[in-house]
A and B are shown apart, each in its own frame.
Chain A
Amino acid sequence: AQSVTQLGSHVSVSEGALVLLRCNYSSSVPPYLFWYVQYPNQGLQLLLKYTTGATLVKGINGFEAEFKKSETSFHLTKPSAHMSDAAEYFCAVSDRNQFYFGTGTSLTVIP
Chain B
Amino acid sequence: ETGVTQTPRHLVMGMTNKKSLKCEQHLGHNAMYWYKQSAKKPLELMFVYSLEERVENNSVPSRFSPECPNSSHLFLHLHTLQPEDSALYLCASSQWGKSYEQYFGPGTRLTVT
- A101-B43, A103-B42 known; A42 vs B106 contact (CB < 8 Å): yes
A96–B101 CB distance below 8 A? no
Q: Say yes or no for A28: interface residue by CB 8 A criterion.
A: no
Q: Say yes or no for A49: interface residue by CB 8 A criterion.
A: yes
B101–A90 CB distance below 8 A? no
- A96-B100, A97-B97 known; A43 vs B42 contact (CB < 8 Å): no
Q: Say yes or no for B75: interface residue by CB 8 A criterion.
A: no
| Residue tally, chain B, CB below 8 Å to A | 26
A97–B42 CB distance below 8 A? no
- A90-B43, A103-B42, A104-B42 known; A46 vs B105 contact (CB < 8 Å): no
A34–B107 CB distance below 8 A? no
Residue numbers of A with Cβ under 8 A of B are 32, 34, 36, 41-46, 49, 51, 90, 94, 96-99, 101-104
